[in-house]
């Protein structure tokens, strides 16, 4: 029995993931306005915007849902799995977070940080840690688990001996993820072509790319990132991080976000946009995020 299966005496009982997912879908549609209730000419899908819990400096603090609710247009929060005083490997913490998400009407689109210190995507036990992360995501109704691997943990896609073990591990875990309604979103230091190659080698709908455009520029793939949106396409991109260090998204930085957002719209991307900006205080987070959401919606005209 999974450690995340609860007895009926607990606050929440274990149910099938498709039931959990439908509950979250209904709650999200209620929070943003169901397109089924709108006139047919206004039925474009709503823009889904979340924020990374770690960037809000609230890892392990279930009050994060209350803060998210204070920010107009912010619908979700990306949680960390293994970080913080209280982490999601604890059944009690999972229950508390699920309760708080329900209380404040906030969606949990994704979970990040599946690996504890010393473990990476290239470790022999990486699959076991991802399996636990998938269980957490299914319980919380999250549809994406962010799988990070950067620099030395990132395989060289020109060397089969480097990428083959990672591909094999992902192929093994992918059916479990997809069967739980979860996608493993790969976020790494590869360029867009390398990401497309890796995704195509795994060749399973349970594994796609978590595209962090700013990271791509940071890791030296200059001039490749915005064009890489079309290279990867809607079929490979499961989720997107948006950040501009500690500046507003519209300000000059590594990524021309107005152009990048337009490109994402052009390929029909309709997943979550998860903000990862750095913040100096709670109030600064609220103010800057409110401004950033306004900018994103203005560019996407939603």
For residue 266, give every residue at least 6 positions away whose Cβ sits within 8 Å of its Cβ, in sequence order, or none.
230
What domain range is 115 assigned to?
Answer: 18-34+45-300
Q: Is the pLDDT score of 54 beyond 90?
A: yes
pLDDT at 201: 98
Per-residue pLDDT tens over the stretch 134-148? 999 999 999 999 999
Average pLDDT over residues 141-170: 98
Task: Please check the confidence at residue 7 and state whether its pLDDT lies above 60.
Answer: no
pLDDT of residue 23: 42
**Is there a domain that residue 11 lies in?**
no
pLDDT score of 19 more than 60: no
The verdict on residue 139 lying in a domain is yes
pTM of the model: 0.86
State the pLDDT at residue 295: 97
- Determine the average pLDDT of the residues in 222-239: 98
Position 196 pLDDT exceeds 50: yes
Percent of the chain's residues with pLDDT above 70: 85
Average model confidence (pLDDT) for the chain? Answer: 89
For every residue of 93-115, which 3-state class applies, written as one string? HHHHHHHHHHHHCCECCEEECCC
| 140 CB-side CA count, 13 A | 36
**Domain annotation covers residue 9:** no
Question: What's the pLDDT band for 204 if we cut at 50, 70, 90?
Answer: very high
Per-residue model confidence (pLDDT) at position 84: 75
Q: Tell me what pLDDT residue 46 has.
A: 83
Residue 238 CA: distances (Å) to CA of 94, 154, 241, 281: 24, 19, 11, 30
Task: Look up the CATH number of the domain holding residue 97.
Answer: 3.20.20.150
User: Would you say residue 131 lies in a domain?
Assistant: yes
Q: What is the pLDDT of residue 90?
A: 93
Domain count, the chain: 1
What number is the average pLDDT over the span 202-222?
97
Residues 75-117 have pLDDT tens digits of 999 999 998 778 999 999 999 999 999 999 999 999 999 999 9
Q: Which phi-psi region, left, alpha or beta, contains residue 197 (left: φ > 0; alpha: ψ -120 to 50)?
A: alpha
**pLDDT for the residue 83:** 86
Q: What is the pLDDT of residue 302?
A: 62
DSSP class per residue in 2-65: -TTPPPTTSSS----HHHHHHHHHHHHHHHH--GGGS-GGG-PPPPEEEEETGGGT-TT-TTHH
Give burial (CB, 10 Å; 0-12/13-18/19+) of 217: middle
User: Are the CB atoms for 52 and 81 separated by under 8 Å?
Assistant: no
User: Looking at per-residue confidence, does 141 or 43 come out higher?
Assistant: 141
Lowest-pLDDT range of 2-11, 62-71, 190-199, 202-211:
2-11
Asked whether residue 6 is domain-assigned, the answer is no
The answer to whether position 8 is within a domain reads: no
pLDDT score, position 14: 38
Poorest-confidence range of 33-37, 127-131, 248-252, 287-291?
33-37
202 with 170: CB under 8 angstroms? yes
> Residue 26: what pLDDT?
46
| pLDDT above 70: residue 44 | no
């Amino acid at each position: 029995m999974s450690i995340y299966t609860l007895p009926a005496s607990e606050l929440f009982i274990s149910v099938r993931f498709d039931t959990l997912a439908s509950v979250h879908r209904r709650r999200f549609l209620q929070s943003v306005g169901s397109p089924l209730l709108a006139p047919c000419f206004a039925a474009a899908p709503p823009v889904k915007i979340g924020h990374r819990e770690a960037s809000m400096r609230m890892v392990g603090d279930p009050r994060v849902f209350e803060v998210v609710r204070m920010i107009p247009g912010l619908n979700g929060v990306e949680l960390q799995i293994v970080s913080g005083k209280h982490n999601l490997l604890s059944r009690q913490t999972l229950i508390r977070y699920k309760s708080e998400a329900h209380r404040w009407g906030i969606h949990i689109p994704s979970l990040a940080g599946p690996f504890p210190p010393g473990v990476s995507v290239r470790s022999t036990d990486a699959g076991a840690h991802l399996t636990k992360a998938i269980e957490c995501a299914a319980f919380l109704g999250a549809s994406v688990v962010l799988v990070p691997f950067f620099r030395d943990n990132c395989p060289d896609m020109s060397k089969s001996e480097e990428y083959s073990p990672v591909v094999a591990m992902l192929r093994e875990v992918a059916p479990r993820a997809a069967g739980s309604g979860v996608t493993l979103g790969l976020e790494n230091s590869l360029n867009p072509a390398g990401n497309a190659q890796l995704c195509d080698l795994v060749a399973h709908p349970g594994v796609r790319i978590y595209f962090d455009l700013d990271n791509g520029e940071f890791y030296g793939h200059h001039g490749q990132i915005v064009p890489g949106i079309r290279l990867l396409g809607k079929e490979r991109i499961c989720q997107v991080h948006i950040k501009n260090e500690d500046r507003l998204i519209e300000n000059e930085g590594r990524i021309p976000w107005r152009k990048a957002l337009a490109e994402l719209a052009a390929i029909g991307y309709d997943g979550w946009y998860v903000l990862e900006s750095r913040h100096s205080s709670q109030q600064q987070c609220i103010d800057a995020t409110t401004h950033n959401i306004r900018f994103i919606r203005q560019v996407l005209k939603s």
